[in-house]
């Protein structure tokens, strides 16, 4: 009975034959070593941009938003464009962390930590714009509903702008909680490796994490519920941002397609930004074993899908504008394509709709240089999209006498550059104080996706990689087998052929003995007892009564009091008939193989 | 009260799990188990009950929902009624986004705070660390010397192939 080799279904997500300690070393290194020259240079540049941003924001606050080129007609310009752009970028983190967690996409583990951090920093950049746009920033607390001495005057809860306040502050809070809770065990790892002042700091920030079994259990429960909460939340945020436009009565804005179209666009731009940052980080921090080309390809596929959804939305808008027969709607879109801002419309179409189509080809999806280039193109394109929606619509409203043109002042450009500086500065600080890749989570999936474990993994759960959720199965399998899960190798070759067509040809082992360990509750010792008693196949076992098996166990040496054979014949019957999927389902329903 | 903890470190989660089963066969009472990452199945092995955090999360969410709904209803109908856009004072559909956000916010914040409080964690909290490699690559079983004598524990660790053993007195000052 030779080792069965089954065609691999999914690529390995951790390459380089890592063990747990090596993972710790690799992922802590960027934090523990002295900053490389590239980091110092990048930090200097982003800090300079940030400083310029602080200067232009101070200028705005001191002189008022008259320093911007907004006018009576075009009262939303670069500020709200940047706001929506940053909020969109802030969507990928939660999407990767929460939605991909719920969908059991294990490739998320390599990139979720950095993407979540990116989300938080992007939301900070986004939140800045409505604040300074209000004009009198010292009165910004008026937006919060609290009993006050001004009447009390309450905010207007029926306004989408008020919904924005709630949506964005909730999104920011939940993202921080989710991110930090995931970070605590890794900060504890850093704490236990650090010395002196750094140890004291990590002691404070790791919250006294010990890694106790109960804490891990609660931690996982918390992560799962937060993911469940964050999933509708992330969809609600950009939906509500789109309401800022969709609930108005302007042609080109007043459309029901906006929420899904904005959410798809947000995911699209968010993934592009994750790629931009991670492609640099993986190179500079030498994380190629954890963020593999397969991760990049997976993200490129999402970019292709969301980019195409966005493209469909653009075309639908155009079609519906024409089909509505409503002259103002028709004009709004005619103006977008041929009006004074035609260049932004074509920039948007080129960057967002045409460029991702390259990702239909595997060669491009797996080309790092091309991906990096395209990720920047997409970021630019998504900025154009928001500019098109906001500025080109406002520039040509109902009344031709109010038509106007707008281009930004140096202050507005400076604030935008400043938010880029803020974003990069925070990200660069982050890579120096915390692991960019989630250490504990990588260790958790190592035995499911690590390159050296892959072939074993493919034996049984080859058609799904959701293995880590089969908790109770793992316990008993592991305790009996001595190594982790998925060890139903060798003699189950017939099972492989029935459950995975790809395996045909790789396996051709006829057996006289069955692997009785596949029965939940039977381990190597009990198998030996049974085989010694002449019970070697599933068919034989299926023909027995539980009492008979119990008698055999009682007679045998060793303590088998924990192993109750009440369901073994039933399971064996399924196995004997080759109903592997049904057996697997049965075993998931019945804990520990009990009734 | 000071407690004397006898611990053993294993190199893999598989070794840890078989050692736990062995300890239960020998009726040795395990004080706690520490791992570098969530090892699935430990809760069932150790007989830990399912976490009730998600129930707390539901309750917090319900509170958030009610605060938002009742708060906005009271403000718009009793405290300061204003007509917005020709709609009725009590225009519930417009409350939906904020009710949703408050549900999520209360639930997430409440659950997270509860998690840290019931687990005895928080900013600056120092819990005893048995061994620095537990957060790296070692899997630890700890016995309280009150429940399992030191010699029994050491014999057990030797028999189950523990990589390293140690004794630590914790909670001296209490």
Higher pLDDT, A490 or B8: B8
Q: What pLDDT, on a 0 to 100 scale, did the predictor assign at position A480?
A: 40
Q: Are residues A492 and A421 in the same domain?
A: no
Q: What pLDDT, on a 0 to 100 scale, did the predictor assign at position A594?
A: 67
Of the listed ranges A465-469, A500-504, A524-528, the one predicted with least confidence: A500-504
Question: B56 at the A interface (CB within 8 A)?
Answer: no
Q: Are residues A183 and A292 in the same domain?
A: yes
Question: A325 at the B interface (CB within 8 A)?
Answer: no
Question: B44 at the A interface (CB within 8 A)?
Answer: yes
Q: Give the percent of chain A with pLDDT over 90.
A: 37
Q: Are residues A372 and A397 in the same domain?
A: yes
Question: B75 at the A interface (CB within 8 A)?
Answer: yes
Longest dimension (CA), chain B: 81
Q: Are residues A436 and A532 in the same domain?
A: no
Q: Are residues B31 and B72 in the same domain?
A: no
Q: What pLDDT, on a 0 to 100 scale, did the predictor assign at position A468?
A: 41
Q: Are residues B59 and B96 in the same domain?
A: yes
Q: What rounded mean pLDDT belongs to chain B?
A: 88
Q: Are residues A412 and A487 in the same domain?
A: no
Q: Are residues B12 and B46 in the same domain?
A: yes
Q: Could you tell me if residue A306 is inside a domain? A: yes
pLDDT tens for each residue of A225-241: 998 898 899 999 999 99
pLDDT tens for each residue of B121-166: 988 888 888 888 888 888 898 888 888 888 888 888 888 888 888 8
What domain count does chain B have? 2
Opening angle at CA A438, ends A437 and A444, nearest 5: 125
Q: Could you tell me if residue A1 is inside a domain? A: no
Q: Could you tell me if residue A11 is inside a domain? A: no
Q: Can you list the alpha helix ranges (DSSP code H) found in A434-509?
A: 439-449, 454-457, 471-481, 493-499
pLDDT tens for each residue of A336-373: 999 899 999 999 999 999 999 999 999 999 999 999 99
Q: Could you tell me if residue A12 is inside a domain? A: no
Q: Could you tell me if residue B123 is inside a domain? A: no
Evaluate if residue A462 carries a pLDDT over 50: no
Q: Are residues B78 and B29 in the same domain?
A: no
Evaluate if residue A48 carries a pLDDT over 90: yes
Q: Are residues B113 and B100 in the same domain?
A: yes
State which residues form the domain around A74.
Answer: 20-445
Please indicate whether, in this complex, the C-beta atoms of B119 and A152 are within 8 angstroms of each other: no
Q: What pLDDT, on a 0 to 100 scale, did the predictor assign at position A467?
A: 40
> Taking the mean position of all CA atoms in its chain, how far away is CA A290?
15
User: Which chain B residues have a beta carbon less than 8 Å from that of A221?
Assistant: 51, 53-54
Question: A135 at the B interface (CB within 8 A)?
Answer: no
CA–CA distance, A473 with B44 (Å, rounded to integer): 10
Q: Which of A419, A445, A471 is a domain's end point?
A: A445
Q: Are residues B59 and B106 in the same domain?
A: yes
User: With the C-alpha atoms ordered A76, A80, A85, A87, is the resulting torsion angle positive or negative?
Assistant: negative
The model's confidence at residue A10, banded by pLDDT at 50, 70 and 90, is: low
Please indicate whether, in this complex, the C-beta atoms of B137 and A192 are within 8 angstroms of each other: no
In this structure, what CATH number is given to the domain that contains residue A127?
A: 1.20.1630.10
Of B79, B104, B135, the CB nearest to A174: B104
Q: Could you tell me if residue B96 is inside a domain? A: yes
Q: Are residues B62 and B114 in the same domain?
A: yes
Q: Could you tell me if residue A97 is inside a domain? A: yes
CA–CA distance, A355 with A358 (Å, rounded to integer): 6
Please indicate whether, in this complex, the C-beta atoms of B57 and A225 are within 8 angstroms of each other: yes
Q: Are residues A369 and A478 in the same domain?
A: no
Q: Are residues A239 and A362 in the same domain?
A: yes
pLDDT tens for each residue of B44-62: 888 888 888 889 999 999 9
Q: Are residues A397 and A424 in the same domain?
A: yes
Question: A131 at the B interface (CB within 8 A)?
Answer: no
Query: What residues form DSSP beta bridges with B6?
Result: B143, B167
Phi and psi torsions of A559, nearest 5°: -100, 110
Q: What pLDDT, on a 0 to 100 scale, did the predictor assign at position A452?
A: 66
State which residues form the domain around B132.
Answer: 3-50+128-170
The model's confidence at residue A483, banded by pLDDT at 50, 70 and 90, is: very low
Question: A243 at the B interface (CB within 8 A)?
Answer: yes
CA distance A174 to chain B (A): 6
Q: Are residues B46 and B132 in the same domain?
A: yes
The arrangement of strands across the sheet holding B3-10 comes to B32-34, B139-144, B3-10, B164-170
Q: What rounded mean pLDDT belongs to chain A?
A: 82
DSSP A450: B
Close Cβ partners of A361 (under 8 Å, ≥ 6 residues apart): none
Look at residue A504 and give its three-state secondary structure: strand
Q: Are residues B112 and B58 in the same domain?
A: yes
Three-state helix/strand/coil letters over chain B: CCEEEEEEEECCHHHHHHHHHHHHHCCCCCCEEECCCCCCCHHHHHCCCCCCHHHHHHHHHHHHHHHHHHHHHHHHHHHCCCCCCCCCCCCHHHHHHHHHHHHHHHHHHHHHHHHHHHCCCCCCCCCCCCCHHHHCCCEEEEEECCCCCHHHHHHHHHHCCCCEEEEEEECCCC
Q: Are strands B32-34 and B139-144 parallel, antiparallel or unpaired?
A: antiparallel
User: Which chain B residues have a beta carbon less than 8 Å from that of A183?
Assistant: none
Please indicate whether, in this complex, the C-beta atoms of B115 and A181 are within 8 angstroms of each other: yes
Q: Could you tell me if residue B95 is inside a domain? A: yes
Mean pLDDT value of segment B30-54: 86
The model's confidence at residue A20, banded by pLDDT at 50, 70 and 90, is: confident
Question: B41 at the A interface (CB within 8 A)?
Answer: yes
What domain count does chain A have? 2
Q: Phi/psi class of residue A252: alpha, beta or left (left: φ > 0; alpha: ψ in -120 to 50)? A: left
Q: Are A541 and A569 in contact (CB under 8 A)?
A: yes
Q: What pLDDT, on a 0 to 100 scale, did the predictor assign at position A454?
A: 57
Evaluate if residue A319 carries a pLDDT over 90: yes
CA–CA distance, A356 with A106 (Å, rounded to integer): 24
CA–CA distance, A186 with A348 (Å, rounded to integer): 40
Evaluate if residue A546 carries a pLDDT over 50: yes
pLDDT tens for each residue of A94-104: 888 788 877 77
Mutate to test the interface with B, among A144, A165, A187, A211 (most CBs of B within 10 A): A211
Question: B168 at the A interface (CB within 8 A)?
Answer: no
Q: Could you tell me if residue B43 is inside a domain? A: yes
Evaluate if residue B172 carries a pLDDT over 80: no
Q: Are residues A219 and A336 in the same domain?
A: yes
Of B82, B112, B121, the CB nearest to A208: B121
Mean pLDDT value of segment A477-489: 39
Query: What residues form DSSP beta bridges with A507?
Result: A504
Q: Could you tell me if residue B22 is inside a domain? A: yes
Q: Are residues A213 and A337 in the same domain?
A: yes
Q: Could you tell me if residue B134 is inside a domain? A: yes
In this structure, what CATH number is given to the domain that contains residue B9?
A: 3.30.70
Q: Are residues A439 and A460 in the same domain?
A: no
Q: Are residues A320 and A463 in the same domain?
A: no
Q: Could you tell me if residue A13 is inside a domain? A: no
Q: Are residues B33 and B65 in the same domain?
A: no
Q: Are residues B102 and B135 in the same domain?
A: no
Longest dimension (CA), chain A: 100
Mean pLDDT value of segment A435-444: 86
Q: Which of A445, A463, A495 is a domain's end point?
A: A445
């Amino acid at each position: 009975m030779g080792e069965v080799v089954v065609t691999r279904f999914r690529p390995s997500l951790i390459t380089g034959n890592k063990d747990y300690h090596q993972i710790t070393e690799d992922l802590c290194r960027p934090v523990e070593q002295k900053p490389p020259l590239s980091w110092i240079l990048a930090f200097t540049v982003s800090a300079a941009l940030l400083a310029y941003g602080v200067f232009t924001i101070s200028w705005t606050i001191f002189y008022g938003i008259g320093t911007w080129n907004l006018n009576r007609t075009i009262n939303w310009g670069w500020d709200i464009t940047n706001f929506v752009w940053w909020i969109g970028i802030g969507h990928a983190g939660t999407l990767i962390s929460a939605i991909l967690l719920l969908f059991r996409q294990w490739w998320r583990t390599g990139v979720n930590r950095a993407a979540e951090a990116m989300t938080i920093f992007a939301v900070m950049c986004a939140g800045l714009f409505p604040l300074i746009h209000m004009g009198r920033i010292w009165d910004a607390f008026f937006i919060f509903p609290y009993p006050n001495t001004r009447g009390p005057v309450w905010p207007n809860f029926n306004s989408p702008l008020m919904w924005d306040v709630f949506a964005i502050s909730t999104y920011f809070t939940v993202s921080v909680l989710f991110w930090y809770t995931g970070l605590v065990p890794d900060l504890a790892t850093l704490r236990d490796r650090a010395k002196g002042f750094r140890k004291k700091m990590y002691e404070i920030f790791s919250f006294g994490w010990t890694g106790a079994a109960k804490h891990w259990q609660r931690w996982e429960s918390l992560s799962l519920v937060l993911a469940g909460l964050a999933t509708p939340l992330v969809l609600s945020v950009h939906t509500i941002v789109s309401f800022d436009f969709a609930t108005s009565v302007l042609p080109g804005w007043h459309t029901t397609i906006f929420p899904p179209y904005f959410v798809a666009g947000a995911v699209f731009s968010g993934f592009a930004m994750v790629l931009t940052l991670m492609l640099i980080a993986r190179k500079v921090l030498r994380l190629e074993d954890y963020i593999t080309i397969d991760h990049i390809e997976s993200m490129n596929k999402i970019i292709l899908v969301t980019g195409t959804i966005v493209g469909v939305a653009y075309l639908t808008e155009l079609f519906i504008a024409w089909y509505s027969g409503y002259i103002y709607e028709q004009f709004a879109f005619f103006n977008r394509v041929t009006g004074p801002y035609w260049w932004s419309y074509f920039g948007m179409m080129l960057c967002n709709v045409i460029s991702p189509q390259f990702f239909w080809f595997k060669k491009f999806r797996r080309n790092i240089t091309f991906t990096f280039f395209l990720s920047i193109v997409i970021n630019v394109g998504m900025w154009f999209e928001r500019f098109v929606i906001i500025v080109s619509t406002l520039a040509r409203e109902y009344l031709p006498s109010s038509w106007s043109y707008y281009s930004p002042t140096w202050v507005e450009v400076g604030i935008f550059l400043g938010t880029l500086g803020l974003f990069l500065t925070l990200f660069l600080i982050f890579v120096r104080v915390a692991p960019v890749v989630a250490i504990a989570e990588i260790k958790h999936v190592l035995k499911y996706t690590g390159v050296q474990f892959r072939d074993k993994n493919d034996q049984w759960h080859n058609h799904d990689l959701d293995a880590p959720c089969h908790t109770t199965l793992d316990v008993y399998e592991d305790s009996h087998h001595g190594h982790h899960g998925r060890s139903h190798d060798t003699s189950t070759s017939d099972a492989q052929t029935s459950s995975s067509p790809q395996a045909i040809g790789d396996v051709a082992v006829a057996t006289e003995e069955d692997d009785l360990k596949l029965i939940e509750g039977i381990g190597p010792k009990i198998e030996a007892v049974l085989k010694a008693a002449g019970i070697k196949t599933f068919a034989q076992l299926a023909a027995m009564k539980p009492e008979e098996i119990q008698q055999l166990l009682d007679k045998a040496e060793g303590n088998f009091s924990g192993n109750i054979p009440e369901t073994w014949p039933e399971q064996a019957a399924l196995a004997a008939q080759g109903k592997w999927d049904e057996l697997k389902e049965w075993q998931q329903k019945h804990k520990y193989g009990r009734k | 009260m000071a407690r004397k903890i006898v611990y053993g470190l294993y190199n893999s989660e598989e070794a840890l799990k078989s050692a736990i089963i062995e300890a239960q066969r020998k009726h040795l009472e395990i004080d706690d188990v520490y791992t570098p990452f969530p090892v699935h199945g430990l809760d069932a092995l150790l007989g830990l009950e399912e976490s009730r955090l998600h129930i707390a999360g539901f309750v917090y969410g319900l509170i958030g929902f009610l605060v938002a709904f009742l708060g906005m209803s009271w403000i718009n109908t009793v405290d300061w009624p204003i007509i917005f856009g020709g709609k009725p004072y009590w225009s519930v559909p417009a409350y939906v986004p904020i009710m949703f956000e408050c549900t999520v916010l209360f639930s997430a914040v409440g659950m997270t705070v509860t998690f840290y409080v019931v687990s005895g964690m928080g900013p600056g909290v120092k819990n005893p660390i048995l061994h620095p490699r537990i957060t790296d690559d070692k899997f630890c079983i700890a016995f309280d010397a009150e429940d399992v004598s030191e010699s029994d524990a050491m014999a057990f660790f030797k028999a189950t192939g523990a990589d390293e053993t140690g004794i630590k007195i914790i909670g001296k000052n209490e």
